[in-house]
């Protein structure tokens, strides 16, 4: 039989099963069309029928995943119009776990541990109070790539979409974590690398990180993040590693943009001064003008990328990680990391994530005062005992437990 007739028969059988209350049978039939006929014109109809049936079966998180899939894969279809109307209402129905007063309690999972997130492990995490699973989705050299389906990067394994479905079945949220400055799969021939100044040789050299001010990079990031959001994730955690160091950011596009916006050319050699008998390097006054401009320019670029992404995924949450020095030593953070907390709080980020210790209660209080408590998330090492005491955090502060690289993993360890 022609595939169109086969599909029509399956869809009709699915509708009849749903009408009779046989939701599991209907779900399986609609998924059969969705998975077996990926290029069929009827696939968008099968997806919306699947989402509606999941919703009727009270599988709210899974229904959300399918409605989001519709928007990503068929943005101009009538079904996508329905999906956009449905998503906000369903999101309000999702349960939020965790201790009273804590809106987010997350566990970070490294990319190599994605396979460990089976039903048993996710159920254990949920029972422990976790309401958000944060997963790393990129791999660096020597084997660079990603763990989700995309045409914008090498796909090491297409694992994320399946993990998203499992996480949502446990009524948990799932966020993807990555750095926008380290994407080792980007071809050097594209010329997207950042440039750093070497005070010893007084020369500029290519860096291994990406230049956020290269004019081609924002379009790339929009496409990349759109494919990532299409997996059904609930949020993004933009990692601060690697930061834009004091001697970085001097790419030709950045220098041209600085001259255009500030009205004068910049010579990186003039940003450092040598003082004293030992010729210690210090920052020249012009350095601070440059550092502030760089921070604002980087933030503006990411604002544009996040704005374009949220046009298709308005409910997607975005958290930005910053270093603790943005609180304890703002001038150092601006120079060393191109981070300024007072400026960042005005932009498109739902949360500001700060790596810190639970015992540093005063730092958390000060951070909450700056960014407003309900937007603050602390990234903490689960090995920190805090003297055996419960953490005293400002109301609304979230926690994400993240081990240091190479430490024993949180998953499947009975912790």
If asked whether residues 355 and 258 sit together in one domain, one would say yes
Give the whole-angstrom CA distance, residue 251 versus residue 249.
6
Q: Total structural domains in the chain?
A: 2
Dihedrals φ, ψ of 105, to 5°?
-135, 105
Q: What is the domain extent for residue 318? A: 105-401
Name the 3-class secondary structure at 114.
Answer: helix
The CA distance from 350 to 366, in Å, is 18
Answer yes or no: do 173 and 246 share one domain.
yes
Q: What is the CATH number of the domain that holds 229?
A: 3.20.20.80
pLDDT single digits (tens) 183-195: 999 999 999 999 9
Q: Are residues 43 and 145 in the same domain?
A: no
Separation CA 173–CA 167 (nearest Å): 7
36 and 170 fall within a common domain? no
What's the pLDDT band for 409 if we cut at 50, 70, 90? very low
CA 399 to the chain's CA centroid: 16
Q: What is the pLDDT at residue 96? A: 44
Per-residue model confidence as pLDDT tens digits over 151-178: 999 999 999 999 998 898 888 899 999 9
* For the chain, percent of residues with pLDDT exceeding 90: 47
Statement: residue 57 has pLDDT above 60: yes
Please say whether the beta carbons of 186 and 266 come within 8 A: no
pLDDT at 71: 84
Give yes or no: residues 43 and 162 share one domain.
Answer: no
Q: Are residues 153 and 193 in the same domain?
A: yes
Q: What is the pLDDT of residues 230-254, one digit of tens each?
A: 999 999 999 998 999 999 999 999 9
User: Which residue, among 83, 98, 94, has the nearest Cα to 61 in the 3D structure?
Assistant: 94
Q: 36-68 in b/e burial notation, b at 16+ Cβ within 10 A? A: ebeebebbbbbbbbbbbbbbebebbbbbbbbbb
Instruction: Decide if pLDDT at 399 tops 90.
Output: no
Query: What are the tens digits of pLDDT across the range 74-117?
Result: 888 888 888 888 887 787 676 544 333 446 888 999 998 888 88
* Cα distance between residue 347 and residue 359, in whole Å: 29
Q: How confident is the model at residue 201 (pLDDT cuts 50, 70, 90)?
A: confident
Domain closes at, from 30, 65, 93: 93
């Amino acid at each position: 039989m022609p595939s169109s007739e086969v599909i029509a028969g399956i869809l009709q059988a699915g509708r009849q099963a749903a009408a009779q209350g046989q939701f599991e049978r209907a779900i399986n039939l609609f998924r059969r069309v969705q998975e077996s006929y990926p290029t069929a014109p009827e696939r968008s109809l099968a997806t919306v029928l699947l989402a509606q049936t999941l919703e009727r079966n009270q599988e709210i998180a899974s229904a959300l995943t399918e409605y989001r899939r519709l928007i990503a894969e068929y943005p101009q279809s009538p079904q996508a119009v329905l999906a956009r109307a449905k998503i906000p209402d369903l999101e309000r129905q999702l349960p939020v776990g965790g201790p009273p007063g804590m809106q987010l309690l997350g566990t970070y999972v490294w990319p190599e541990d994605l396979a460990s997130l089976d039903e048993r492990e996710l159920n254990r995490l949920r029972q422990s109070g976790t309401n958000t699973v944060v997963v790393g989705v990129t791999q660096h050299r020597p084997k660079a790539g990603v763990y989700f389906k995309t045409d914008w990067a090498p796909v090491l394994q297409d694992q994320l979409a399946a993990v998203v479905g499992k996480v949502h079945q446990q009524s948990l949220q799932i966020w993807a974590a990555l750095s926008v400055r380290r994407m080792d799969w980007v071809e050097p021939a594209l010329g997207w690398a950042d440039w750093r100044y070497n005070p010893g040789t007084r020369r500029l050299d290519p860096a291994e990180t990406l230049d956020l001010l290269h004019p081609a990079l924002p379009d790339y990031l929009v496409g990349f993040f759109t494919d990532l959001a299409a997996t059904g994730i609930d949020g993004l955690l933009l990692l601060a590693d690697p930061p834009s160091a004091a001697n970085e950011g001097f790419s030709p596009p950045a220098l041209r943009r600085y001259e255009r916006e500030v009205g004068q050319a910049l010579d990186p050699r003039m940003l450092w001064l040598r003082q004293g008998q030992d010729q210690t390097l210090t920052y020249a006054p012009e350095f601070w003008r440059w550092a502030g401009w760089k921070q604002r320019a980087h933030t503006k670029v990411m604002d544009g990328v996040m704005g374009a992404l949220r046009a298709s995924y308005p409910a997607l949450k975005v958290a930005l990680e910053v270093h603790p020095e943005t609180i304890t030593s703002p001038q150092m953070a601006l120079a060393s990391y191109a981070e300024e907390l007072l400026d960042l709080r005005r932009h498109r980020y739902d949360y500001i994530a700060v790596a810190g210790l639970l015992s540093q209660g005063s730092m958390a209080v000060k951070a909450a005062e700056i960014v407003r408590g309900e937007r603050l998330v602390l990234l903490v090492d689960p090995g920190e005992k805090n003297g055996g005491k419960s953490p005293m955090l400002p109301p609304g502060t979230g926690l994400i437990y993240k081990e240091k690289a190479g430490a024993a993993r949180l998953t499947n360890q009975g912790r």
